[in-house]
Homo-oligomer: A and B are copies of this chain.
Amino acid sequence: MATSSSSYEIEQLQKGCYYEWMGLQAKHIANLKEALMSQQSYENDHKLVGVIVNDFQKYAEKRRELSHRSCSSYFAPSWNSSLENGLLWMGGCRPSSFIRVIYALCGSQIETQISQYLHKIDGNEKVDGLMSELTATQLAKINELHIKVIEKEDKISKKSASMQEDVADMPIAVTAYAKDLVEAGVVVEDALDKHEEGMAVLMEEADKLRVETLRKIVEVVTPVQAAEFLLAGKRLHVSLHEWGRVREERRFGCARADAVAGGAGAGTSNKTTC
């Protein structure tokens, strides 16, 4: 168990690790965009995709190391908006959502192509139809992967449910019942430490599933499709982080600023002044 001072340092390290990752995501986005625009060689795309997947694995390894020293903060991080925290599964995104991104890209591109065909338009802003060119064999493999990933997610969710239930058992529930004092005591502190350690193990399993799912997807699709998928996934992550922050700021920032400026009359605050 980490000491109080090092736990503070760990939370700072966790936050630092997250922002470092977000910085790297911005770099990845720029690289992927460039690769897709310039239509570079199969080998270059393949290399770039490999680097990005490996970077994700390295990020998961850093999280593992940091979560094993203090885990709870990963389940509702202070650096996320409520919207993002509400979307969290085991301290990150659902691996099955990677596959939903592929379906979304396929669908939107097919829709664009049909629309272009119907209107006989070949405009300049057409979306590259890479994902809509997925073969039946590729789609079957993606579907199969989707089912397997959901099964694995369910297994991890069940373990988490069981661990959450365990907190309502001995020794924690009985200690809480047996005394009026709010002091936890050594037995409860140990049990809570063990609970947090168990949750860290689950987060590690979930991170492994996230990396594994990503690896399997890029194996099924072509390097250029993989680049498109990774770009979509990363933009979704970065956008949700930003949108959540902006929504929260709009909800609370203005009202708080107004509350400071005009007392308790937050109800009359004006969005446009923010």
A8-B252 contact, Cβ under 8 Å, with A100-B165, A173-B232, A176-B240? yes
A25 within 8 A of B: no
Nearest-neighbor residue (CB-CB) of A109 within chain B: B174
Q: For chain A residues 68-125, which have a beta carbon within 8 Å of chain B?
A: 70-73, 75-76, 81-83, 85-89, 93-94, 96-98, 100-101, 103-105, 107-108
The interface residues of chain B lying within 8 Å CB-to-CB of A221 are: none
CA distance A272 to B178 in the complex (A): 27
**How many Å from the CB of A15 to the closest CB on chain B?**
12
A166 within 8 A of B: yes
**How many Å from the CB of A81 to the closest CB on chain B?**
8
**A: contact size bracket:** 35 or more
A177 within 8 A of B: yes
Q: For chain A residues 178-216, which have a beta carbon within 8 Å of chain B?
A: 178, 182, 184, 188-189, 192, 196, 199
Task: Show the binding face of A for B, using Cβ within 8 Å.
Answer: 3-9, 11, 70-73, 75-76, 81-83, 85-89, 93-94, 96-98, 100-101, 103-105, 107-108, 127, 150, 153, 157, 161, 164-170, 172-178, 182, 184, 188-189, 192, 196, 199, 231-232, 235-236, 238-240, 242-243, 246-247, 250-252, 254-256, 258-259, 266-269, 271
Q: List 9 A-B contacts (CB under 8 A).
A: A4-B251, A5-B271, A8-B251, A76-B86, A83-B196, A93-B168, A127-B178, A172-B240, A182-B246
